[in-house]
Chain A
Amino acid sequence: MKEDFQVIGSRAPRKDAPDKATGSARFIDDLDMSGGLYGALLQSPLPHARILGMDTSRAERLRGVRAVLTARDLPPVKYGVSPARYDEHVLATEKVRYVGDEVAAVAAVDLETAMEAVSLIRVDYDPLPYLLDPFEAMAEGAPRIHEQAPGNICVEVHQEFGDVEAALESCDVIRTGCLKSKNQDGGFLEPHGSLAVCDLQGHLTLYSSTQVPHYVQRTVAMVTGLPMSRVHVIKPYVGGGFGPKAEATPLDLCASLLSMRTGRPVKMNYTREQVFLHGRARHRFFHEMSIGALTDGTLKALRHRCVLDGGAYASFGIATAYYAGSLLGGPYRLPTMKYDGYRVYTNKPACGAQRGHGGVHARALFEQQLDLLADDLGMDPVELRLRNVMNAGETTCNQLNMSSLGMRECIEAVAAKSGWKQKRGALPRGKGIGMACGFFVSGAGYPIYRSETPHSTVKLEVHEDGGGVTVYTGSAEIGQGSDTVVAMIAAEALGISYSDVLVRSGSTDYSLDLGAYSSRQTLMTGHAAKRAAEDAKRKILEAVADVLGVDPQGLDIRRGLLETDGTPLDFGASRMRYIQEHRGWTDHPTGDRLTFREAARLAFIRNGPVVGLGSYKPPPLGGEYKGAAVGTSPAFGCSAQVAEVTVDLETGQVVVESITGAHDCGRAINLTQVEAQMQGAMSMGLGEALFEEVLFDETGRVANPTLGEYRIPTILDMPKIECVVVESNEPNGPYGAKEVGEGAIMPTIPAILNAVKDAVGSAPDELPLHPQRVLAVIMRDGESSGS
């Protein structure tokens, strides 16, 4: 049944687009800070070393320097992402663990002085043997990077659902394969930055280019010792996040500490090189999988081992290691699954969460192996997927419930739109077509810290006069469009127009919201916004009912006008009072219906401020086993894509000619934005599949810390993308909506891998697909087939 929505489902232009189109949108580096200081970091040039001593005296004496901080000036509080693995100090205490590790921070009157001061700090290092490879790090006798982590294991995951070995025995076909990837980067255009302002009342306001004001607030409070109520984190416009900005950074912490120390505002930015040194981006994965099926294509078993190269600190890595396993439980019926995951410390920048988190490369290998299975079985890859796809309402073997799942619709849509049937098997050598699927959480089922806290809260304030509302939310608009989604949902739920909703977001002063990560805000903040709007509506209608002597049950608001169930609404006197109150205005309300503007005014006069409150927390989700929380979600978005490639058989160069993608977002709140997120996710997947690789030299230093040598796709690399939006109407989502931001990247890498295999006859097992690697695959295939 197609519902009659007034606002959602349209292509309303984004709230923030005009600001961005005119250059008036203020990002962190655009903020005014008169009388402020500039901060700079001293970072370790060595991958692993003990700090024997430090001399900051020359730096302190330099004219224009206002503060120099080292670990001895700070309380020895450890922090990180997962409370179970707080393994970071703001500034190195005894050891540095990667090239880039923060050793000291300086605040000075200008950047040039701050950097000169940094160069004057003398550090006495005792170099230690270092590890750049996770397998070497796990080996017997390897030096320990963290005292509390023998074998340099950050986390080990062992999960088994059903009896996998027995299931494999019963299979007719088993496909075993592996996939290696590289460290990758978020590639956002705006480097991280922070501006901390500590005032004379002891309140710290931290402006930060962050995805998660709330988590940053907590970390800053914990590390500085300030109570949470005195730490205010404000997110200005953010130039992309994609995961690496989902945790408190050394800039956040150092700027805060320097501001507290000097009593002045302190601004700190990363250069592009420092963004790479900081990392917190895509882990490097080594996946091995065996997938077993029957001759009719029914999947029976998955045995999966993964080693994650985690870098020097834990960051999001525990969740990453779990996601790498858990996100293979769907979207196909998989009765048994075994996963052994090892996240290993190495002396490189720490890896964190990046779009799709640990699931992306796991999905890539799985979908590639499915295609090979299809080959073995003489089955069309599309057919094999359709045969195994779960239905809405089913639960995976690792207890993830697919409350809605438009996977079948997505597969059928892309197969039809891409001309799959005509092309598959009919393209000449050098041309290929491949498909893949994937799914992702619509928000993690549990917060990062153990707590019963609501995940999203919203306050919707109805203007006392004028008929508009302001939505206050701590959620983070980082470009993905959450402010617009919140405004549209609020407008829809309240019954007013989109243009009458003002959104104020991204500040911890507005409301608690866990922020933009795990693709959660449309569902979770959306729910809170909807509830806040409904709460406000209820309060207004109750006031109207009270004043006009009718039953509130019979009232509603739609298109900015009051509706009744038939009972006449005698608002003549009320309107007259309103008009008297607004002598001089030229746009008095007219018409035979009470307007929202009048109703809001009436409610305010009757009862005082009208504020709608909304809150959302997912119900308890998931199984009872260890790590069951990671992968749980109130809803799962899913995606299918078909990619067509041309491979230059002589040079190995791969060109993606087209991508056809379908994504089930439950309900498209804003159609344009859903397509935009799909296209963006696909461009990131294409980049990660073909170009992106962080290189390290033999000392563990990032060798290509530039956007020239770390290659994200340019406009000339992106093909035409066809987007199909599927709406499965998610029961756990506001108006049926669930995620799109991260799920849409899942099929991209494997669709390209499968297309390349179709083009050259052999499946690559290493990413990214630089010409050299693809050429090696072509040559290898040529040798083995004797040609």
Chain B
Amino acid sequence: MREHEVTLHVNGVEHRLWVPANRTLIQVLREDLALTGAKHGCGVGDCGACTVLMDGRPVNSCLVLAVQANGREILTIEGLARGSRLTPLQDSFVEKGAIQCGFCTPGMILSAKALLDRVPNPAEPEVRNALAGNLCRCTGYQKIVEAVLDAAERTREEDL
């Protein structure tokens, strides 16, 4: 099987790789770039644990071929914090108790980030709709919603 050259912009860093066509974006992120934040939950787009942002939009990286991501901007969970400085969204998740086992957390935070980047002042239904593709078995989602709304408020305050 021949390999294709792809250029991925991941968390602001350009990577040039040779990949077989049947390699998915999540495989490249986890195995070639050691970015293990995106998780294998189901492999078929049912759970959202593999969510990353591609050109600012949440996608299931298990259903994107690496070759299809050529030239795109990819943001993974590792691209948010600056060293030990977490973003307001991550801080809110930590403080509001929105994290239990943590497996859904990277995908959940990225879906939330995509929402807040477009809608800085969301109402609760908008938050829930935006996270409808991210399953969580631990939390019952309530503290996740609270965390996203809290982050929205924090960001607005910071902007003022």
Contact = CB atoms under 8 A, between A and B. Distances in A.
Whether chain A touches chain B in the assembled complex (some CB pair under 8 Å) = yes
Contacts of B37: 22-24
B86 A18 contact: yes
Interface string B14-25: 000000000000
Interface in A707-727: 707-708, 712-716, 718, 720-721
B43 A271 contact: yes
Contact of B102 (A16, A269, A713): A16
B66 to A, nearest CB: 16
Contact of B128 (A240, A681, A716): A716
B128 A708 contact: no
Contacts of B145: 715
Given A240-B137, A679-B139, A721-B140, A25 B102 contact: yes
Nearest to A11: B97
A672 interface: yes
Contacts of A102: none
A6 interface: no
A582 interface: no
A180 B134 CA distance: 31
A681 B102 CA distance: 16
A684 B90 CA distance: 25
Interface in B70-86: 76-78, 80-81, 84, 86
Interface residues of A, number: 56
Contacts of A13: 94-95, 97
Interface stretch (A187-195, A304-312, A367-375, A381-389): A187-195
Nearest to B127: A715
B105 interface: yes
B106 interface: yes
B40 A242 contact: no
A259 B153 CA distance: 52
A715 B136 CA distance: 8
Nearest to A710: B46
Nearest to A19: B102
B46 A23 contact: no
A721 B97 CA distance: 15
| Residue from the set B86, B141, B142, B145 with the largest chain A CB neighbour count within 10 Å | B142
B29 to A, nearest CB: 10
Interface in B47-69: 47, 49
Nearest to A717: B141
Contact of A21 (B38, B76, B90, B138): B90
Contacts of A714: 132, 135
B139 A683 contact: yes
Contact of A27 (B35, B103, B132, B142): B103
Contacts of A26: 36
B141 to A, nearest CB: 4
A479 B101 contact: yes
A439 interface: no
Interface in A455-513: 478-481
Interface residues of B, number: 52
A717 B142 CA distance: 11
A480 B97 CA distance: 11
A716 B129 contact: yes
Contacts of A24: 37, 78
B131 A20 contact: no
B8 interface: no
Contacts of A605: none
Given A715-B144, A715-B145, A680 B138 contact: yes
Nearest to B103: A239
Nearest to B101: A479
Contacts, number: 172
| Residue from the set B37, B86, B95, B102 with the largest chain A CB neighbour count within 10 Å | B102
A538 interface: no
Given A23-B36, A682-B140, A718-B142, A708 B102 contact: no
B103 A190 contact: yes
Contact of B100 (A22, A187, A479, A715): A479
Contact of B103 (A21, A189, A680): A189
Interface in A15-41: 16-27, 29-30
Given A17-B94, A18-B86, A23-B35, A191 B40 contact: yes
A572 to B, nearest CB: 38
| Residue from the set B44, B94, B100 with the largest chain A CB neighbour count within 10 Å | B100
Nearest to B76: A23
B47 A707 contact: yes
Contact of B41 (A682, A707, A721): A707
| Residue from the set B44, B76, B99 with the largest chain A CB neighbour count within 10 Å | B99
A708 B40 CA distance: 15
Nearest to A673: B97
Interface in A675-690: 675-676, 679-684
A442 B124 CA distance: 36
A239 B102 contact: yes
Given A239-B39, A716-B132, A679 B142 contact: yes
B49 A189 contact: yes
B42 interface: yes
Nearest to B84: A18
Contacts of B115: none
Nearest to A480: B100
Contacts of B140: 676, 679-683, 713, 718, 721
A684 B100 CA distance: 14
Interface in A256-274: 269, 271-272
A780 B38 CA distance: 48
A252 to B, nearest CB: 19
A21 B137 contact: no
A684 B86 contact: no
Contacts of A29: 30, 36, 39-40
A242 B101 CA distance: 11
Contacts of A56: none
Contacts of B129: 716
A676 B43 contact: no
A706 interface: yes
B81 to A, nearest CB: 5
B42 A190 contact: no
B109 interface: yes
B104 interface: yes
Contact of A680 (B90, B100, B128, B132): B100
Contacts of A770: none
A478 B44 CA distance: 25
A23 B97 contact: no
Contacts of A673: 97
A188 B137 CA distance: 6
| Residue from the set A238, A242, A673, A718 with the largest chain B CB neighbour count within 10 Å | A718
| Residue from the set B40, B78, B143, B145 with the largest chain A CB neighbour count within 10 Å | B40
B76 to A, nearest CB: 7
Contacts of A680: 100, 137-140
Contact of B93 (A17, A238, A240, A684): A17
A683 B140 CA distance: 5
A20 B84 CA distance: 13
A237 interface: yes
Contacts of B100: 240, 479-481, 676, 680
B94 A21 contact: yes
A14 interface: yes
B101 A188 contact: yes
A190 B39 CA distance: 8
Contacts of A191: 40-41
9 contacts: A21-B81, A21-B94, A29-B30, A189-B41, A240-B138, A680-B138, A683-B140, A706-B42, A718-B141
Interface of A: 11, 13-14, 16-27, 29-30, 186-191, 237-240, 242, 269, 271-272, 478-481, 672-673, 675-676, 679-684, 706-708, 712-716, 718, 720-721
A-B residue pairs, 6 tightest by C-beta:
A23-B37, A479-B101, A20-B102, A239-B103, A683-B140, A679-B140
Interface of B: 30, 35-44, 46-47, 49, 76-78, 80-81, 84, 86, 90, 93-97, 99-106, 109, 128-129, 131-132, 134-145
